[in-house]
A and B are shown apart, each in its own frame.
Chain A
Amino acid sequence: MNDAEQHNETGQGEWCATITLSGRFAHEHVTLFDDLTFTIAQGQWTCLLGPSGVGKTTLLRLIADLPTGGQFSGTITTSNACSLEGRIAYMAQSDLLAPWLSVRDNVLIGARLRDQTLDTQRANHLIEQVGLTEHVTKRPSELSGGMRQRVALARTLMEDRPIALLDEPFSALDARTRAEMQELTFELLRGHTVLLVTHDPGEAVRLGHTITVMTEAGLQEFIPPSAPPVRAHDNADAMQAQVELMNVLRSPEASCVA
């Protein structure tokens, strides 16, 4: 059983909620999106798919309350009206490991940054879950890209937060490592509310309970295959959906500027 389920069963407050962002965003008088409403469903994987530069990462950063360099006018609300502060864990394309810290210390960095006592036992347990027990004292430079991203996953889980915002965390990995990482991340983040930003239709089809396509024209819902994620690569429905998703991305309405 993972942390999310534990929390749900023991009923420690509101663990997750549906998040809705609506409004417009401009960067130095250039409007990136206007009159947009985006929803991340509670306890599910929402994949936000789109080409580079369309504003996917900006959406994620707005929800994470990270600097965006532009002006957002609108609201970010949760279905149970609780604040998002302190409820979000963040994973980026780069592993964001501190190169001077060991694997274990990187997993523990959140507690250290908040001046809290370190739960080394839990860190060791999470490192075991991502299969890095024998590398626990190594520095990031001694690990492969896939292993480093697994450390980042353990660090994300260590934060024990209901919402995970993932900004293309798998895109720098080779195909096989990426597939393994997708499965591991999906398994370990089960029960969390997850937003995955990606530009890979295959990844969205594999992991999304909900798939939202973001183009210059705005947001568009895409109905994912009926099988539950993680969907197999050779699943006929998934393959078909991937082709259709590619067509949506390349369709003329999508590429014309709104």
Chain B
Amino acid sequence: MRRLIDGCAAFAIAVAIWQGIVWFTGVPAFILPGPARVAQSLADNAGLILDHAGITILEVMVGLVIGALLGGATALHLVISPRARRVFLPVMVFSQAVPVFALAPILTLWLGYGIWSKIVMTILIIYFPVASTFFDGLNRTDRGLLDLGRTMNATPLQLLLQIRLPAALPSFASGLRLAAVYAPIGAVIGEWVGSSNGLGYLMLLANGRAKTDLMFASLFVLAFFTVLLYGAISIVAARVTAWATGESVPRE
């Protein structure tokens, strides 16, 4: 509750500063519309914005699920197989030197204007953060626990399932939180490059027609959705990995 109040206060301050800038500079509305104008546009175009938001949300969610599964599976594979580590890890790191945004036109060329070029863009953006944080987590298992497993004659599979995997869940969760913030960026970039649907398309369209208020309204909806997604993932992650947050203070 306290956090919600603080969040609303921060939002109110940001809106006040925004309104202040509009008043003091007297900037024309097609350059920077005031909050009231954007709210009005949001209300007037609610149906239109929601339609496009639906497409973007679909792309983000599908991309997030597939990207998280692929990233998680990659990390597990790298941990299990030393060979995969030798061959694949350098490739993975090198691939990050390629600016993913630059691939967007190619993806549109290959996969067309539909949602799949955006979903693949989303997957590409979140894949590496998920895979690398989870991989780090799996590698950072407490050495003492591994020693204990060894003296207990643990099977390698059980050691992975019972100790390394649960111990790495907090890292996986932080990878997913990052992914929640990055995924909408991937979808919107895909939409910018070529599409006839989605919030990215709508923003580009509104911008081109000097409907700056509509652009801001779309942007606001996108940001709102991203915050919701981040919040939802954080809450689920906190539930699952409550043991790692030190919620219950050790009693002496």
Contact = CB atoms under 8 A, between A and B. Distances in A.
Interface in B139-156: 142, 144-145, 147-155
B144 A96 contact: yes
A113 B162 contact: yes
A215 B163 CA distance: 36
Contacts of A33: none
**A interface secondary structure, majority:** loop
A110 interface: yes
Contact of B150 (A66, A92, A98, A112): A66
A141 B243 CA distance: 7
A113 B159 contact: yes
A113 B243 contact: no
Given A113-B163, A139-B248, A159-B152, A92 B147 contact: yes
**B interface secondary structure, majority:** helix
A112 B147 contact: no
Contacts of B144: 92, 94, 96
Interface stretch (A5-13, A82-90, A205-213, A238-246): A82-90
A174 to B, nearest CB: 8
Interface in B80-127: none
A256 to B, nearest CB: 33
B26 interface: no
Interface string B216-242: 000000000000000000000000010
Nearest to A112: B162
Given A66-B150, A112-B162, A114-B155, A141 B145 contact: no
Q: Give the contact-size bracket for chain A.
A: 20 to 34
A145 B251 CA distance: 8
Contact of A99 (B149, B155, B243): B243
Interface in A94-143: 94, 96, 98-100, 109-110, 112-115, 139, 141-143
Contacts of A109: 148, 152, 162
Contact of B158 (A85, A92, A114): A114
B152 A66 contact: no
A65 B248 contact: no
A49 B174 CA distance: 44
- Residue in A85, A113, A143, A165 with the greatest tally of chain B CB atoms within 10 Å: A113
A169 to B, nearest CB: 12
Given A66-B147, A98-B163, A100-B166, A110 B152 contact: yes
A165 B148 CA distance: 11
A149 B159 CA distance: 22
A143 B142 CA distance: 19
Contacts of A115: 155, 158
A141 B152 CA distance: 23
B151 A141 contact: no
B223 to A, nearest CB: 34
Given A85-B153, A144-B250, 14 more contacts: A64-B147, A65-B150, A92-B144, A96-B144, A99-B243, A100-B167, A113-B152, A113-B153, A114-B154, A141-B250, A142-B248, A142-B251, A144-B251, A144-B252
- Which 8 pairs of residues, A with B, have the shortest CB-CB distance? A113-B154, A90-B151, A110-B152, A100-B243, A99-B243, A96-B144, A113-B158, A142-B248
